[in-house]
Amino acid sequence: MLDAVRAGEKSSAVAMTNWHERLYLAWTGTDTHLRLAWSPDARNIVDTRRLDQQSYTVGGGQYATSREPVGPALAGSAEHLYLAWTDTDHGINILADPENSRGAPVRLEEASSHNPPALCSHQGTLVLAWTSRDAPTWRGSGGHINILADPESPHGAPVRLEEARSYLPPALCSHQGSLVLAWSGTDRHLNLARLQSFGALLRAHAASTSYVLARAADIAR
End-to-end, the C-alpha distance of the chain in Å comes to 44
* pLDDT computed for residue 141 by the predictor: 58
* pLDDT computed for residue 210 by the predictor: 28
- Residue pair 49/86 in contact (Cβ under 8 Å)? The answer is no
* pLDDT computed for residue 206 by the predictor: 43
* pLDDT computed for residue 216 by the predictor: 27
Phi/psi region, residue 186 (left: phi>0; alpha: psi -120 to 50; beta: rest), is: alpha
Residue 201 phi/psi, 5-degree rounding, is: -65, -40
- Residue pair 85/117 in contact (Cβ under 8 Å)? The answer is yes
- The series of mean pLDDT values per 10 residues for the chain, 221 residues long, is 68 88 93 93 89 82 70 91 92 91 82 91 91 63 85 78 91 91 93 77 42 29 33
Q: What angle do CA 63, 10, 184 make, to 5 degrees?
A: 65
In the chain, the domains with their CATH numbers are: 15-207 (2.115.10.20)
